[in-house]
Structure 1
Amino acid sequence: MTTATPRRGDHRISPVFLGIAAVTAVSGWAVWTDFAPQPGLAVFLFVTGAWIVSLCLHEYAHARTALHSGDISVGAKGYLTLNPLAYTHALLSIVLPVLFVIMGGIGLPGGAVFIERGRIRGRWKHSLISAAGPLTNVLFAVVCTAPFWLDGLDGVPDTFRYALGFLALLQVTAAILNFLPVPGLDGYGVLEPWLSYKVRRQVEPFAPYGLLVVFAVLWIPEVNQYFFDAVHAVLRALGVTEWDTDWGREFYRFWRGTPEIPTFTQS
């Protein structure tokens, strides 16, 4: 087995990530202050930037947990720099998730850090590595919804409120999808170490197609309805209504024209 000696630069935050975070912060300020001449564009940049930041943190959580579990090779691969361009499949981890947000407003789970599992001992460690990514989405959802469930929305501009609601929707959908026990998704990765060798070998060929199967099933209207009912049930428990998420989606799709800004009324 080859060794990978940690280097100082392996943990340095990438300028690419810092640039994305800066765009997110500036566009978030523009949404809050209504500085942008087209609020929908500011919402689009803010939500997209925050979504990419969450994807980077998702992959970082996998890598950081793997590092502390024994795989020191993740540093040399650039996974600890939060650089989205360092992922094994940037298309799957960044490009496709952003496209799915634009097309349908759903948080597509990525997954593109290569963990050298042979370096890691203990089934619990393997399960925790897989769980670390979607748990990051859960934490992100809790942070996004904090103003809602803490009753801290006084003084928060409506447009910013809707943007947070839509961003929370993406995080909840990503967390639920990631935790599905489907080969190729993190939920299966949590279970896999506890399965017999024979079962793992039988399931392994289907792993590359697991995500495609999930989204094919989601195209079934009844399944789609059930899935989003579950998502909105979680969001309601966190204080976010469909009013918030629907208007957030409307502003996000700025190319359809800027909607008339509604005023939220408590039912």
Structure 2
Amino acid sequence: MTTATTRNSDRRISPVFLGIVAVMAVTGWAVWAGFTPFPEFTLRARQYALSPGLAVFLFVTSAWVVSLCLHEYAHARSALHSGDISIGAKGYLTLNPLKYTHALLSIVLPVIFVILGGIGLPGGAVFIERSRIRGRWRHSLISAAGPLTNVLFAVVCTAPFWLHALDGVPPAFRSALGFLALLQLTAAILNFLPVPGLDGYGVIEPWLSHEIRRQVEPFAQIGLLVVFGLLWIPAVNHVFFDVVDAILRALGVSDLDTYCGQAFYRFWQGKPDGLFCPSGG
């Protein structure tokens, strides 16, 4: 019923998003085929047996941005079906990242987080008119929809591993998938934390008293940065990634897969000491 109030143009997939998907597809093929774009830029990487580095960087980054768009689309779509019919006019259903309320938080910062620390941490972007939505369960579902998309993305990325369907998959592509799965898993776990400003808090917020919500509200603006700052503390970082690695290993993704994937991704740093990552078939 609610979707009938949105125009077809409000739901048409944006050429911007299609362009990002095209980059993901082309660079994914480049990783699979062992093709190295702009070889003059990857001379140092080749010296360290990391020759597919630039292709992996472009593939993982574009796939990560696609997942961010889908994350925000899930919020928007669930809000639309929960009663916020203003979503369509805002352009959120087009999957265009340029339509987000905070493009810096939604696209730029998450990509920087990946480059700096290999952490998937999407930020809030779509503005939902919560006053149009009735029912605490609906509010919780809208907040949960985003990180659940990351969970689904992680399942897809790890499927070749837990289905034992890796025969014929080039090592570099396998490593790229492993690293992308790590990003999706970290994004899901961190977003489900009950921290103001993250989706996990949005899930429980409708069930809190008005007084508690009022007291917590000022911290929503810094919750994302506080979490990221805590992850720079070695003890916290080790515990967090121990949990992430344990889940990935249960899904068939080895530490070497994710480690090599990150090494390929950050090809400009060269090969870590003692690490050999096969890139060919």
Same fold (TM over 0.5): yes
Matched, 1:19 2:19: yes
Alpha-carbon contact 1:58-1:134 (below 8 Å) kept: yes
Deviations 1:55-93 (A, max 9, x none): 000000000000000001111000000000000000000
Does the 8 Å CA contact 2:197/2:220 hold for their aligned counterparts?
yes
Please identify, of 232-241 and 130-139, the stretch whose mean Cα deviation from structure 2 is larger: 232-241
Q: After the TM superposition, which residues 135-174 of structure 1 pair with which residues of structure 2 at under 5 Å, given as runs?
A: 135-174=148-187
Match of 1:7 in 2: 7
Aligned counterparts, 1:70-219, within 5 A: 70-219=83-232
Q: Percent identity?
A: 79
Question: What residue in structure 2 maps to residue 221 of structure 1?
Answer: 234
Contact 1:159 1:261 in 2 (8 A): no
Quick one: which of 47, 63, 84 aligns to 1:50? Answer: 63
Task: Name the CA distance, whole Å, in 2 between partners of 1:216 and 1:200.
Answer: 23
| Deviation of the 1:263 alpha carbon | 4.4
Point out which structure has higher relative CO (alpha carbons under 8 A, 6+ apart).
Answer: 2
> What amino acid maps onto 2:211 in structure 1?
K
| RMSD of aligned alpha carbons | 1.6
Shift of 1:9: 0.5
Aligned to 1:28: 28
Task: Measure, in 1, the Cα distance between the counterparts of 2:108 and 2:236.
Answer: 25
Unaligned runs of 5+ in 2: 40-50
Give the total of aligned pairs: 261
Distance in 1 of aligned mates of 2:174 and 2:194: 33
Counterpart secondary structure, 1:248: helix
Conserved 8 A contact 1:183-1:204: yes
Q: Which amino acid aligns with 1:262?
A: C
The alpha-carbon deviation at position 256 of structure 1 amounts to 2.5
CA contact (8 A) 2:23 2:62 kept: yes
C-alpha distance in structure 2 between counterparts of 1:158 and 1:75, whole Å: 42
Q: Output the amino acid matched with 1:14.
A: S
Q: Partners in 1 of 2:8 and 2:167 — Cα distance? A: 44
CA contact (8 A) 2:32 2:172 kept: yes
1:169-225 CA distance string (max 9 Å, x none): 100110010000001100000000000111111111111111121122212211111
Does residue 1:69 correspond to 2:73, yes or no? no
Q: How does the TM-score come out when normalised to structure 1?
A: 0.94
Q: Secondary structure at the match of 1:53?
A: helix
Structure 2 residue identity aligned to 1:23: V
SS at 1:73's partner residue?
coil
Which one of 24, 27, 39 corresponds to residue 52 of structure 2? 39
| Of 129-138 and 196-205, the range deviating more from structure 2 | 196-205
Whole-Å separation in 2 of the counterparts to 1:226 and 1:166: 18
CA displacement, residues 82-136 of structure 1 (integer Å, 9 cap, x when unaligned): 0000000000000000011111111012211000000000000000000000000
Whole-angstrom distance in 2 between the partners of 1:262 and 1:229: 21
Query: Partners of 1:183 and 1:191 in 2: how far apart?
Result: 10
Aligned to 2:121, the other structure's residue is in SS state: coil
Shift of 1:262: 3.0
